[in-house]
Structure 1
Amino acid sequence: MRGLKKSALQSGIALLETLMAISVMGFGLIAISKFQGNMVRNTSFVHEQNLAIKAAESKIEEMRSFQTLAVTTGMTSYDGIVTGSDTVTSGVVTFNRSWTVTPRTSPGLFKEVIVSVTWNDAQNLGRTVQISSLIQGFDPKTLASVIRSYAPPGNPVQPFNRVLKVPIPAIIDPTDPTKSIYTPPGAPSVNIRLDNTTGLVTSLNGIATTNTTFLLSGYIGFGSGSTSPTVTPTSNIDFRLVNAATGIPLSGYTCWDDSATTKAYAGYITYTCVVETNGTILIGGVDVPVWSGRMRLTLGGATAEPYGWGLTSSTDRICRYTGTENTYLNIQDTLASQNYIAIQGNRYCPSGTTLFQP
């Protein structure tokens, strides 16, 4: 009897131990299951959070890549950076994106941007990420000149994967990404097509160029104050390229400006010319197409020296920035920032400029 009782007791203890082991294992499996579930949820949240951060960053980069300061049809602009919202879908998640833009003027001109992205996760819990940045109101064209000045040798490439000779505001040709299309300020119906590798003009208003053709562009500023010039940003100022020796107008060039239209930059005339080659030079045994000539500014349609300046109808002077070419000789590249300033005739040219006309 004692043996049977002892055997039964031992069996009961063994059963109890088994039940306890099963219980412990069950709790362990439940804990592991919860842990794995949390890991899956956390992994899903981290993935969604990364997508939300990318959505916020992409909006800031979109704002930062403006092409012009003033609002211009067909271009992104600094003035167009304003408060707004939209939605972005990635996979099965829809992100609600909103941004607030606060203009600042000190120190310098910039805008403070805060982008918030909200969404509901897999457990339908509301989630939010927020990033902020400052966007400086820096003229892209001036920036292009700075980049051009400091471009490292052998790497003259600007954003959009094209050479610096292509103007920043030009858009990539949607039908051919190796080309860009540029519409000069003041000429909304003109389309200049450029090669992204060479910067040369390949067509004008859809008509292919038959000769090597270059761009020439810049700005005219105007003196201010009590001694302002008689000419203004709306005056009838045109641009003429002439033979440097004879003064006879060159053939094979066309210029446009925004003197009679909405300004690309308030207070300045922006001009653009396309110039065909009119000669060659021998470089490394190869004939390289070039052009030579002299820029003259004309006033009121004048066709002969001094082209409207120095006459009784205008005592104003035109000064040329010293970094600007005077007589162009054997030019084999695009020229930008060829800039001038108009002043009253009884004033001296400002520092950094030299008298140009009359």
Structure 2
Amino acid sequence: MNHQHRGNGRRPRAQRGVTLVEALVAFLVMAIGMLAAVGTQLTLRLNSDVAKQRSEAVRLAQNDLDVMRSFTTLPATEGVNSYADIVQTQAPVPLGFSSNTQHRLTRNVASTEDLPFRTVSAEITWEDRQGVAHPVRLDTIVAGIDPALSGYLGLVANGKPAAVVSRSNHRLPAWVRDLGNGRSVLKPAGSDTTAWIFDNRSGLIVSRCVVPANSTTQSLTLGDLSGCLDPTLTPLAGRLVAGYVRFSLASPPDPATPASPAIEVHPVLDLSGGLSQTSECFDDAAAAAGQRTLVQYYCAVFSPSAEVGWSGYLSLDPSTHWRGDNALYLLCRYTADVDASGSIGNEEHPLDYANVTKNLLNQNFLVVARGESCPLGTAQHDPRPL
């Protein structure tokens, strides 16, 4: 007897392609994930490049500003980094390749004549891998102060004033030329073979040189001055007295804008410090007479040491011009109580100098016609007769 077992009456169905579909879906999901990972890697690499390029741009901008701040002189000097060389670039300057791009510099400089500083901005631009431009800009202010002043902060105080050659220097005149070795030179106008060497720190005339007759302050070389730059020589202790003589022969005289032709006059110093002090004076009167409206003069007073001041009286020769019955002119001096101290100090051009211990500039005179009076000054000038 045969027994047949019956199930639920359903016949098994064949399952086809299920494994292949799942594999395709898995591959699709994995591909999307890989694409996202690749995109992330590309973004990270691009951002890394831009960060590196930005760091390099900041370094280049900072370096340019440091160069602008590292000037060694104020006036423009050939071959020397000077404050006057801080100027605006007219076009971007290529700085070479860094990583996979090229940085370019554009410098903008804004200066104000009334203020002693310049505002400098250094902008660095570059393009990343995708050609997108990026900028970095740094700004600074560069003060127009003589770099030598910073060096004096490290000096041990000795109670003596220091002076350097600069636009605001009150001890050395603008006409001297810095020799670059702590010394400056001046060949006075009207001098044949005499030149004075100044110490930039103290402002003293420390040496007197004999130089070629046809030389000028600007043309003198270290070779011309070698005989008086020897550090083993005993330094002199000279102080400068300098100024201008102007002429106003109109009636009444005009001290503010004197414009009469110059006549030949010469400075004379009458010292009261004894034989231990000597002086010498020079002027450009011969060249100025009849050609210009002013005469420039220079005097040097030599004392036994830097600690010894000089006293005396400064006048002009020939005295026959303004002394005696036959005098043709009256000699006046510009004098003013500039510091409002109630008295006329050495720097304010007194009738008599007393214990002068530093250089005196702008000791100016005015020549007027005989019969006129020395003009009364304003708050700035008060000419008085000798």
3-state SS, counterpart of residue 116 of structure 1 = coil
3-state SS, counterpart of residue 27 of structure 2 = helix
1:240 touches 1:249 (CA, 8 Å); kept in 2?
A: no
| Matching of residue 172 in structure 1 with residue 150 in structure 2 | no
**Equivalent residue runs for 1:49-198 within 5 Å:** 65-66=74-75, 116-120=90-94, 122=97, 128-135=106-113, 160=165, 164-174=170-180, 176-177=181-182, 179-187=183-191, 190-198=194-202
Report the CA distance shift for 1:222/1:51 in structure 2 as closer, same or farther (over 3 A). farther
Cα distance in structure 2, aligned partners of 1:23 and 1:127 = 38
Larger Cα-atom Rg: 2
3-state SS, counterpart of residue 294 of structure 1 = strand
2:241 touches 2:361 (CA, 8 Å); kept in 1?
A: yes
Letter in 2 for 1:16: L
Deviation sequence 1:94-127 (CA, Å, 0-9, x none): xxx997xxxxxxxxxxxxxx76353235566876
Cα distance in structure 2, aligned partners of 1:125 and 1:44 = 9
1:219 touches 1:271 (CA, 8 Å); kept in 2?
A: yes
Report the CA distance shift for 1:225/1:209 in structure 2 as closer, same or farther (over 3 A). farther
Q: For residue 328 of structure 1, report the CA deviation from its aligned partner.
A: 2.0
Report the CA distance shift for 1:243/1:46 in structure 2 as closer, same or farther (over 3 A). closer
3-state SS, counterpart of residue 285 of structure 2 = coil
Q: Which runs of 5+ in 2 are unaligned?
A: 1-12, 117-158, 210-226, 337-347
Cα distance in structure 2, aligned partners of 1:226 and 1:30 = 90
Q: 2:384 aligns with which of 340, 343, 355?
A: 355
Q: For residue 275 of structure 1, report the CA deviation from its aligned partner.
A: 0.7
Q: For residue 48 of structure 1, report the CA deviation from its aligned partner.
A: 4.7
1:289 touches 1:332 (CA, 8 Å); kept in 2?
A: yes
Residue 282 of structure 2 corresponds to which residue in structure 1? 256
Report the structure, 1 or 2, having the larger strand content. 1
**Equivalent residue runs for 1:187-336 within 5 Å:** 187=191, 190-205=194-209, 206-207=227-228, 211-223=236-248, 225=250, 227=252, 234-243=262-271, 252-261=278-287, 267-277=293-303, 288-299=307-318, 306-311=319-324, 312=326, 314-322=328-336, 323-336=348-361
TM-score, normalization by structure 2: 0.56
Cα distance in structure 1, aligned partners of 2:103 and 2:303 = 66
Identity of aligned residues (%): 17
RMSD of the TM alignment (CA)?
4.8
Residue 9 of structure 2 corresponds to which residue in structure 1? none
Give the total of aligned pairs. Answer: 282
2:207 touches 2:236 (CA, 8 Å); kept in 1?
A: no
Residue 69 of structure 1 corresponds to which residue in structure 2? none
2:197 touches 2:207 (CA, 8 Å); kept in 1?
A: yes
2:278 touches 2:302 (CA, 8 Å); kept in 1?
A: yes
Letter in 1 for 2:50: N
Cα distance in structure 2, aligned partners of 1:131 and 1:183 = 37
Deviation sequence 1:126-184 (CA, Å, 0-9, x none): 7644333343699xxxxxxxxxxxxxxx895566589742334433333x23x332343
Cα distance in structure 2, aligned partners of 1:53 and 1:182 = 35
Report the CA distance shift for 1:277/1:36 in structure 2 as closer, same or farther (over 3 A). same
Deviation sequence 1:184-204 (CA, Å, 0-9, x none): 345486432122332221101
Cα distance in structure 2, aligned partners of 1:116 and 1:252 = 56
TM-score, normalization by structure 1: 0.60
Report the CA distance shift for 1:189/1:30 in structure 2 as closer, same or farther (over 3 A). farther
3-state SS, counterpart of residue 310 of structure 1 = coil
1:233 touches 1:267 (CA, 8 Å); kept in 2?
A: yes
